[in-house]
Chain A
Amino acid sequence: MGRSSARPWEAIGRYRRYWLSTFIILPACGAGLMLVQVLADRLPLWLEIPTLLIFVLLFAWISAGFWTAVVGFILLMRGRTDTVPGNPELRLAEPRPQSRVAIVMPIYNEEVERVAAGLQATYKSLQHAGALAHFEFFLLSDTRDPAIWLREELVWSALCQSLDAFGRIHYRRRPINNKAKSGNVADFCRRWGKNYEYMVVLDADSVMNGETLYRMLEMMEGNPQVGIIQTQPLAVNRETLYARLQQFAQHLYGPIFSAGLRFWQLGDGHYIGHNAILRTVPFTQYCALPVLPGRAPLGGPLLSHDFVEAALMAKSGWEVWFVPSLSGSYEEVPPTLIDDLKRDRRWAQGNLQHLRLLAGEGLRPAHRFLFINGAMSFLAAPLWGIFLILGALGSLHWANTANNGSTTLFDWSWLADPMPFWLFGVTIILLLSPKFMAVLWVMYQRGQKEHFGGLFNLLASMFFESLFSILMAPIRMAFHSQFVIQTLMGRGVHWGGQVRGDQETSWVDAFRYFGWYSALGLSLAALLYPFLGLWHFVWLVPILGGLTAAVPIAAWTSRPALGRWARRHRLFVIPEEVRVPPELQALSADSVAYLPHIEGDPFIQVVVDPRFNAIHTALQRNRTGAWPRAANLCHKALEQGPQELNNRERNILLSDRNSMLALHRAVWSTADRARLAAWGLQSDEWKLTDV
């Protein structure tokens, strides 16, 4: 094991990235120059220069995506895997018997049954692949809600019992959530990292195929210079219309973008924080995250840790490979637009923080580019917004000039082109051609279009998905702009649990979150139409239409019923729905139906139920330092009832073995009926007394 000094792919990668830079910069500059010619005599300098600068920047950004897709498409059509020397797929080695992999699953206030189902599916798949001997699982909980914590413990013990996996599935709950998910993984590395040469990081909704995991282990064993191997997780399992659209888009367009990305990145790849295998020793040594000076949101602990961890790994000489050809890696997408935007809010802050690392000593250029690219995915929104405002001002100025300075309302006479058509055409090509390339790639593969519901349904799905994307774009622009402004103004976000189930957005919520944007769209339409005239206004319809329709879009796309309807009509079908892989079949609700359910308040149950109390108590230790406080809380619980304890107080009691035993005995020894009733104990004695 060790870092390699001679890296044959490096020169090739540099060469490829020079070409990418050329493809991005030259057309952007060319387009800018052509726009100069159009605007030069028609706009004043104060309007022309910012319009041009933003145009070139945005053009360059979307052309980066376009060229990535083009390269990916060519590679896939040629049907040859990347044969660059140093490619980890080319060097597989059978794992040594002593090679151990920890599969870590950090969780935070998650739906426990779903987590258990995912873990069980992965476990069984590994068992089926005959590779279980190398792997151990760690459920790393940062859960603060005592009710969920207790469920986690109970489910863990039941899962171990049913799979006969005691000693192979472990559970750890951190009492303090320092540095959120990255801190949780770091805590694992500090405690048990030495025991495991590799670790696979999963999200709470991740599922992985056993053979894929074993293949990743083989790659790590055969490539001692590799620090991280990242798979491309496929979005599956959701039923809301919104999520199905995302799933479909990811399955259809994802492969060409992934192939292209891999072509540029090679051993300077990215890491998305889950569904990846990492070499534990270098990760522990080099990937502890710096805390940025200053306060959140731009200072303090890094909110998006994964890109930085990959950058630090590469900085210390280890290779990071993105291997999209590894199948059998799954995740779930947010079910609704609101949930997606909540996640974007965190990512926006995290990605903007990355800009403060840009000048970091020793970071590789490819990772600096990833930082910029990540930040641009959010900064592009306000830039686009400014560009539109400048465009509207330009149109107004242009119209004024054409009318010799007299601005008239409802002026229909001026019907000149408001925008050069070539600009529109090029932009459309850059944005939409990857979608057509993806469809061509699917059609080119034998039998693949049937996995998307057949050719007609595939094309129809692509059409509706594109329409939806166009309508969604201004909504995202508005929200992302808001996120960027909030972050720059110093308003940070807190770490929150994620919604994993298919939950509908009510109309009330839709109005609460999106009402302002719908109102903005309507107001702008009413305001701009008289000034711009019909022809100019038509150009703004996709933008204003998307904004105006924000409320119904958010509400309707969150409906699982609409998603199921689409599926029945074979729209937005993905290959995993046509041929369901065994590990996804194992995710069905029935698969974890045997897990114990806690009726009522779990805190009461853990105190009262002798079996549940035994499991929980066995897992705690005596916290003598907390005893004076815990004793008072025990008295409070017994005198006033458990309902009077808040979550913090419950956590104190639940963490102390002695308190839990004392409470258990005291409750069962209580003679007072009212107090007993507070703990849910009555029945038999009443019957006896009545008799």
Chain B
Amino acid sequence: MFKDESSYGVNPAGELLVGWTEEATVVANNALVLARVEQYMARLSLSEAQRLWLRGEVVVQLRGTDMEGEALYAQAFASLHMALATLTDGDEVDARLDLSLNLPVGGTHDGKSCRWLQRQMAPAIVRSSMNARTLNRSWGAALLRLVQSVLRDRGAISAIRRVLPGEA
């Protein structure tokens, strides 16, 4: 679980000393990996407390690992992403998205920021069909229609009875 700075003790003496020494060893042995992790975290708009907590989580996961090269980097980043996911109580992409959009991490959209953003991008689809209707483009048919309309109009005119004044 994520803790902010108020949750940490200020004096690393006493029972914490052993853990601290162990952590210092891990940090010293994995300086390159941790530098990469720092570089990654610098690109996220993290608060100082969040950054420290994430770093701590990575260090804890690196403790006692017997790996090197890409496996070690992969382990470190898997730990970092797990920790990021913990920030939102969900998915690490949701956490990164919250940080990108300057939203309170995990505090909005029920921790499902990706799904929320998708809905904002494209509302729910309500399908309707849109198909081209048949268009008769034949010139012969057009000519026939023209003749018919002329004949029809003439017929219509001849069918109208003359109305004389006084005739109902």
Tell me the A residues contacting B by CB distance below 8 Å.
Answer: 156-157, 160-161, 166-167, 170-172, 186, 189-195, 284-286, 288-291, 312, 356-357, 359-361, 609-615, 617-619, 661, 665, 668-672, 681, 683-685, 688-689
Query: Once the chains bind, are A671 and B70 in contact (CB under 8 Å)?
Result: yes
* Contacting pair B96 A288 (CB below 8 A): no
* Contact assessment for B120 and A359 in the assembled complex, using a CB-CB cutoff below 8 Å: no
In the assembled complex, B49 has its CB within 8 A of some CB on chain A: no
Taking the closest CB of chain A, its distance from the CB of B151, in whole angstroms, is 17
A683 to B138, CA, bound (A): 71
Please tell me if the beta carbons of B135 and A361 are within 8 angstroms of each other in the complex: yes
In the complex, what distance in Å separates the CA atom of A192 from the CA atom of B126?
Answer: 6
B residues in contact with A192, CB < 8 Å: 123, 125-126
Known: A170-B120, A192-B123, A671-B69. A614 touches B97 (CB 8 A): yes
A669 pairs with B100, CB closer than 8 A: no
Ranked nearest first, the 7 interchain pairs of A and B with the lowest CB-CB distance are: A614-B96, A611-B100, A359-B142, A618-B114, A361-B136, A669-B74, A288-B132
Alpha-carbon separation in the docked complex, A619 to B100 (Å):
13
Q: Which residues of A contact B99 (CB under 8 A)?
A: 610-611, 614
Shortest CB distance A491–B (Å): 23
B76-104: CB near A (< 8 Å → 1, else 0) gives 11100100000000000100110111100
Q: How far is the CB of B33 from chain A (nearest CB, A)?
A: 9
Give a binary string over B104-140; 1 marks a CB under 8 Å from any A CB, 0 the rest: 0000000001100111111101111111111111110
Q: Are B100 and A614 in contact (CB under 8 A)?
A: yes
Q: Report the bound CA distance from A195 to B113 in whole Å.
A: 24
B20 close to chain A: CB less than 8 A: no
User: Are B125 and A191 touching (Cβ within 8 A)?
Assistant: yes
Nearest CB of A to B81, in Å: 7
Complex contact A668–B40 (CB within 8 A): yes
Secondary structure type dominating chain B contacts: helix
Instruction: Using A192-B125, A615-B100 as known contacts, list a sample of 9 further A-B pairs with CB atoms less than 8 Å apart, ordered by residue number in A.
Output: A167-B120, A190-B129, A191-B127, A194-B126, A286-B133, A610-B40, A613-B96, A688-B31, A688-B35
Most chain A C-beta atoms within 10 Å of own C-beta, residue among B76, B78, B96:
B96
Q: Interface range on chain B: under 10, 10 to 19, 20 to 34, or 35 or more?
A: 35 or more
A671–B93 CB distance below 8 A: no
Q: How many A-B residue pairs have CB under 8 A?
A: 145
Cα A291 to Cα B36 in complex, Å, equals 56
Q: Which B residues have a C-beta under 8 Å from some C-beta of A?
A: 31-32, 35-36, 38-40, 43-45, 69-70, 72-74, 76-78, 81, 93, 96-97, 99-102, 113-114, 117-123, 125-139, 141-142, 145
What's the nearest-Cβ distance from chain A to residue B141, in Å? 7
Complex CA distance for A661 and B120, rounded to whole angstroms? 21
B39 and A669 form a contact (CB under 8 A): no
Is the Cβ of A615 less than 8 Å from the Cβ of B73? Answer: no
Contacts of B137 in A (CB 8 A): 356-357, 359-361
CB-defined A-B contacts under 8 Å, sample of 11: A166-B117, A284-B130, A288-B131, A312-B133, A361-B136, A610-B99, A611-B45, A614-B93, A614-B100, A618-B93, A685-B39
Residue of B nearest to A356 (CB): B137
Which of chain A's residues has its CB closest to B126's CB?
Answer: A194
**Known: A359-B141, A661-B93. Is A190-B70 also a contact (CB below 8 A)?**
no
User: Nearest chain B CB to A158's CB is how many angstroms away?
Assistant: 9
Q: Looking at the complex, which one of A357, A612, A618, A671 makes contact with B113 (CB distance below 8 Å)? A: A618
Closest residue on chain A to residue B95 by CB atoms: A614
The CA of A374 and the CA of B72, in the complex, are separated in Å by 68
Nearest CB of chain B from residue A369's CB, rounded to whole Å = 15
Contacts of B125 in A (CB 8 A): 191-192
Report how far A195 CA is from B31 CA in the complex, Å. Answer: 56
List A contacts of B134 (CB < 8 A). Answer: 290
Query: Cβ of A610 and Cβ of B136 under 8 Å apart?
Result: no
Asked whether, in the complex, the Cβ of A619 is within 8 Å of the Cβ of B73, the reply is no
The answer to whether residues A157 and B101 also contact, given A356-B137, A611-B44, A683-B39 and a CB cut-off of 8 A, is yes
Question: Inside 8 A of A291's CB, which chain B residues have their CB?
Answer: 132
Name the CB-closest residue of A to B78: A665
Pairwise interchain contact A612-B100, C-beta atoms closer than 8 A: yes
Most B C-beta atoms less than 10 A away, residue of A192, A669, A681, A683 = A669
